[in-house]
Amino acid sequence: MFKKFFGLFSKDIGIDLGTTNVRVYIRGRGMVISESSVVAINLRNDQIIAIGTNALKMMGKAPSYISIIEPLSHGVISDFEVTEKMLKSIFEKVHRDTFTLIPRPKVVAAIPLDVTEVEKKSLEDVIIQAGAREVFLVERPVAAAIGVRLPIQESIGNLIVELGGGLSEAAVISLNGIVASKSLKIGGESLNKNIISYIREKFGVLIGNQTAEEIKVKIGSVFGNKNQEMRVKGRDLIKGLPKEVLINEIQIREAIMPLLKTIVEGIHETIEATPPELVSDIYERGIVLSGGGAMLRGLDKMIQKRINIPVLVTDDPATAIIRGTGLVLEDFENLRQVFVPSSRD
């Protein structure tokens, strides 16, 4: 009786602490926060000035007393204190918005495959210190598969490829567990870095990360041929002055293709490590792409052509993981088999 009452008012939370974006889900309400994983800190008093998009806007433009920090790298915490500050500020916002009287939520959080015990503990600790009562961890591709409603509880081979900002993870899931997988520390941010190096080498012009992101989203592709062009502004490395260059789709493809080939190889290896019965399911049912990186134009067709299995990009791919943590909260008892053992046990 009391438990039921408590359940009605407690605000259980799902968290996707991604390399590029942090997302928060509140049970019964849905996704309430989707922000860039960036924090602006005032070094004079160590206080947060801004998080998310507002902090991102300051990047490359802030005076020396403001530090712009991306506290996650390839899906794991690289700056514990800043991650804690960011989560605390997010939790406070959630409390303000929901007027909840019970301040310590139960949290389901997504975690990369292949993390070390130290990395896992660090994620659990940061969430507890930010105010959670209890933390349950789900591997990112499993959360994504739940989010896109693949039948992971059945004895069927489900192949999902989750393409985030700092990680690309392929996993075959059956009966609530991972049968074969591959985790690569390559993601959307690596594509941006390749675009930056390419433009520096080819044109002698230095561009910033946000410009690289814009180029990738506007004219980036890996299949088909529209040959779009785009004018890009950067700094001439020799003269030190602003310079505009005209770049095209083929050049950007040349810059990013090696990374995508590595991802395709990773998918290939995952399938090779999968038992034959499940492989035949995958041939029939296809490969599902999720994560923001799945929006790269032509990626589905490129993978389909190289692996020879149908490929489907899920709707709203970037929110697959957070929707998955949400579904786990809503159907907690039924889905609790998907949790990975805690480092606290």
Ligand X SMILES: Nc1ncnc2c1ncn2[C@@H]1O[C@H](COP(=O)(O)OP(=O)(O)O)[C@@H](O)[C@H]1O
Binding site for ligand X (CB under 6 A): 16, 18-21, 164-166, 187-189, 213, 216-217, 220, 291-293, 295-296, 318
Could you tell me the smallest distance in angstroms from the CB atom of residue 81 to Mg ion?
23
**Of 7 and 258, CB closest to ligand X:** 258
Return the number of the residue (88 or 185) whose C-beta is nearest ligand X. 185
Number of H helices, E strands in the chain: 12, 18
Residue nearest to ligand X (CB): 188
CA distance linking residue 338 with residue 233, whole number of Å: 47
List strand residue ranges (DSSP E) for the chain, in order.
Answer: 13-17, 21-26, 30-36, 39-42, 47-51, 66-69, 72-73, 76-77, 106-111, 134-139, 158-163, 168-174, 177-184, 205-206, 229-236, 242-248, 287-290, 311-313
Closest approach of Cβ 94 to Mg ion, in Å?
19
- Would residue 298 be called left, alpha or beta, if left means φ above 0 and alpha means ψ between -120 and 50 degrees? left
Q: Which amino acid is at 194?
A: N
Which of 138, 105, 102, 104 is CA-nearest to residue 123? 138
329 binds, among Mg ion, ligand X, none (CB under 5 to 8 A by kind): none
Phi and psi at 317, nearest 5°, equal: -60, -30
Cβ–Cβ under 8 Å, residues 253 and 222? yes
Contact status: 326 vs Mg ion (CB under 5 A): no
188 binds, among Mg ion, ligand X, none (CB under 5 to 8 A by kind): ligand X
Any idea how long the chain is? 345
Q: Which of 14, 15, 18, 146 binds Mg ion (CB under 5 A)?
A: 18
The residue range among 35-43, 114-122, 161-169, 271-279 that interacts with Mg ion, by the rule CB under 5 A, is 161-169
Greatest Cα pair distance, the chain, in angstroms, is 74
Applying CB under 5 A, which part among 95-103, 201-209, 229-237, 285-293 lies near Mg ion? 285-293
CB of 259 to ligand X, least distance (A): 12
Q: Closest CB to ligand X among 292 and 324?
A: 292
CA gap 165, 202 in Å, rounded: 25
- Pick the closer one to ligand X by CB: 50 or 296: 296
Shortest spacing between CB 299 and ligand X, in angstroms: 8
Q: Which is nearer to Mg ion, 18 or 157 (CB)?
A: 18
d(CA 112, CA 168): 10
- Residue 19 contact, options ligand X, Mg ion, none, Cβ 5-8 Å cut-off depending on partner type: ligand X
By a kind-dependent CB cut-off of 5 to 8 A, residue 158 interacts, out of Mg ion, ligand X, none, with none
Which of ligand X, Mg ion, none does 293 bind, CB closer than 5 to 8 A by kind? ligand X
Residue 20 contact among ligand X, Mg ion, none, beta carbon within 5 to 8 Å by kind: ligand X
Q: How far apart are CA 229 and CA 231, in angstroms?
A: 7
Pairing of strands 177-184, 21-26: unpaired
Q: Specify the stretch interacting with Mg ion by CB under 5 A; choose among 122-130, 201-209, 257-265, 316-324.
A: 316-324
Distance CA 30, CA 109 (A): 15
217 contact choice in Mg ion, ligand X, none (CB below 5 to 8 Å, kind-dependent): ligand X
Q: Total binding residues for Mg ion by CB under 5 A?
A: 4
- Choose between 315 and 345: whose C-beta lies nearer to ligand X: 315
Between 264 and 278, name the residue whose CB sits nearer to ligand X.
264
Using CA atoms, how far residue 334 sits from 140, 329, 345, in Å, is 19, 10, 21
164 touching Mg ion, by CB under 5 A: yes
Residue 186 DSSP label: -
Interface residue list for Mg ion (CB under 5 A): 18, 164, 291, 321
